């Protein structure tokens, strides 16, 4: 999972609708670290505050409540979360500071020990955030609202997204993970598999399409196992088939799906639809079979290789991106060389490279053969170079070809940025006659100057 930082804020139209004659409304700001699931959840919480008559502002503006949505997928994620919390407390010394997300769930005591934190809320019960804030105000002392995640039994429904300044909407359909890879803290932070009821997911998707969102991204922790806990005949393939029939939806993009989750039915429904983007994110984690066994990953390199072949036979030109952990305990130079060779063989459209980071409470943290930081740094550098070569080679295949770009943002000078269905980021220079605008689909012949690796 990549570490990303984002903000949720109010649209310009919402600001303009306010009049100076009204009483000042309460304001809330969000700082979000981590994956697309966190981003989707922050958007939902922002909507919850809007429904309670809060203005959602940027982190640089004054706010009565500050929400920091944290990540803990690596030690770096935990460290960045702590830094972000302290930074927001310093910038907003008079605000109520709420810390939620994976780091809050796995280390609530550590979070509450940070002076200035008023409320710790993990990865469940977030729909009660406003009730807990009122409790903080009444009791005038910090509150720990985190409870054990291991017995969580149902998908937590949060308010549906209702914002107008986004091109791409995230639709969360699944929560939790039962895999327990030896390096991963996520099952302890997110709990067991829980799928969203299909009628709820489809209803939100229809509303998003009606409101003009041209692209929906399906998100979850173990998205490919959607429906496994529902006992109702639903799975990810069936959900996708329903989603692509929604009027007005132009693109459906899939977030991370594990290799063992690609059933023949799923591959068929991806390949048979022009709505589903020809882009999949399929975590590899290591290019060494020996390391994959120690990671508790349920596939071999040959399994992965054969799956790639099946996917590319059904979906020509498919963009495949992946995650790789470098310097896992016991990784030898031979293992590292195997990973480099496998990356070059696979022709990935993008690779997220992570140095292994110990997470207390996971089996790998106690493995005796930890890799020195300087060795990990060297291996990360080598793998990133191979990843760049692979990405550049993939993008070059589209130079001179006509591609469809969904414009996502336009800068003050009139230059636009958007993505193709293959998730190639395209930079379009300002047009003299006809300005670009957000949510616009354009057909362009891809030039080398339009792409950045």
Whole-number Å distance between alpha carbons of 38 and 219: 10
pLDDT at 14 over 50: no
pLDDT digits (tens, 9 = 90+) for 254-296: 989 999 999 999 999 999 999 999 999 999 999 999 999 999 9
What is the DSSP-derived secondary structure letter of residue 349? S
pLDDT at residue 299 above 90?
Answer: yes
The per-residue pLDDT for 432 is: 83
Mean pLDDT of 82-111: 91
Q: Please give the model's pTM, rounded to 2 decimal places.
A: 0.82
Residue 390 or 151, more confident: 390
Share of the chain above pLDDT 70, in %: 92
147-159: average pLDDT: 75
Block residue for tokens 């935990």? 78
For residue 233, the number of C-alpha atoms closer than 13 Å in the C-beta half-sphere is: 0
d(CA 338, CA 231): 41
**Above 80 in pLDDT, residue 20?**
no
pLDDT of residue 339: 98
> What pLDDT is recorded for position 281?
96
**pLDDT, position 2:** 42
Range picked from 45-49, 88-92, 283-287 for highest mean pLDDT: 283-287
Examine the pLDDT at 408 and tell me if it is beyond 80.
Answer: yes
Predicted confidence (pLDDT) at residue 8 exceeds the cutoff of 70: no
Local confidence band at 198 (pLDDT 50, 70, 90 cut-offs): very high
Percent with pLDDT over 90 in the chain = 65
194-195/174-175 β-pairing: antiparallel
Q: Which residues are CB-neighbours of 311 under 8 A, at least 6 positions away?
A: 262, 267, 280, 318, 320
Average pLDDT over residues 318-329: 97
pLDDT, position 160: 62
Q: What is the pLDDT of residues 135-150, one digit of tens each?
A: 999 888 898 988 887 7
- pLDDT band of residue 80 (cuts 50, 70, 90) is confident
- Per-residue model confidence (pLDDT) at position 158: 76
Q: In this model, does residue 165 exceed pLDDT 80? A: no
How sure is the predictor about 77, in pLDDT bands with cuts at 50, 70 and 90? low
**How high is the pLDDT of residue 163?**
55
Question: For residue 235, is pLDDT > 80?
Answer: yes
Q: What are the C-alpha distances in Å from 375 to residues 2, 182, 369, 402, 436? A: 21, 21, 13, 43, 47
pLDDT of residue 74: 67
pLDDT > 90? residue 99: yes
In angstroms, what CA-CA distances link 240 with 58, 215, 289, 437?
A: 34, 13, 32, 29
Q: Which residues contact 28 (CB under 8 A, 6 or more apart)?
A: 46, 49, 54, 55, 56, 57, 63, 64, 65, 66, 67
């Amino acid at each position: 999972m990549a570490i990303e930082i984002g903000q949720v804020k109010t649209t310009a139209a919402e600001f303009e609708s306010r009049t100076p004659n009204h009483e000042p409304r309460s304001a809330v700001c969000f700082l979000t670290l981590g994956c697309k699931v966190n981003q989707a959840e922050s958007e939902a919480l922002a909507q919850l505050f809007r429904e309670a008559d809060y203005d959602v502002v940027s982190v640089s503006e004054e706010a009565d409540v500050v929400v920091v949505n944290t990540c803990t997928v690596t030690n770096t994620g935990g460290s960045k979360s702590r830094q972000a919390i302290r930074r927001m407390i310093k910038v907003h010394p008079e605000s109520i500071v709420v810390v939620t997300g994976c780091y809050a769930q796995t280390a609530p005591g550590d979070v509450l020990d940070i002076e200035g934190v008023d409320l710790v809320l993990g990865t469940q019960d977030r729909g009660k955030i406003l009730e807990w804030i009122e409790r903080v105000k009444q009791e005038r002392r910090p509150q720990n609202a985190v409870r054990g995640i291991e017995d969580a039994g149902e998908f937590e429904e949060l308010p549906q997204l209702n914002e107008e300044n986004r091109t791409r909407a995230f639709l969360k359909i699944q929560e939790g993970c039962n895999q327990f890879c030896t390096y991963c803290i996520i099952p302890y932070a997110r709990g067991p598999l829980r799928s969203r009821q299909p009628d709820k997911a489809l209803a939100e998707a229809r509303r998003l399409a009606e409101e003009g969102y041209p692209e929906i991204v399906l998100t979850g922790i173990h998205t490919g196992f959607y429906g496994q806990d529902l006992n109702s005949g639903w799975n990810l393939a069936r959900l996708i088939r329903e989603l692509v029939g929604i009027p007005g939806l132009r693109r459906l993009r899939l977030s991370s799906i594990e290799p063992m989750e690609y059933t023949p039915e799923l591959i068929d429904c991806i390949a048979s639809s022009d709505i589903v983007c020809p882009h999949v994110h399929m975590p590899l984690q290591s290019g060494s079979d020996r390391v994959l066994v120690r990671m508790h990953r349920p596939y071999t390199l040959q399994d992965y290789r054969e799956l790639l072949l099946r996917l590319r036979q059904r979906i020509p030109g498919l963009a495949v991106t992946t995650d790789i952990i470098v310097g896992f305990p016991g990784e030898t130079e031979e293992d590292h060389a195997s990973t480099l060779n496998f990356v070059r063989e696979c022709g990935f459209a993008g690779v997220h490279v992570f140095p292994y980071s110990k997470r207390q409470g996971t089996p790998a943290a106690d493995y005796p053969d930890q890799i020195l930081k300087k060795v990990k740094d060297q291996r990360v550098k080598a793998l990133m170079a191979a990843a760049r070569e692979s990405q550049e080679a993939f993008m070059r295949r589209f130079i001179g070809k006509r591609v469809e770009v969904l414009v996502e943002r336009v800068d003050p000078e009139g230059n636009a940025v958007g993505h193709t269905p293959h998730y190639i980021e395209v930079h379009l220079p300002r047009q003299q006659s006809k300005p670009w605008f957000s949510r616009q689909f354009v057909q362009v012949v891809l030039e080398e100057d339009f792409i950045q690796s």
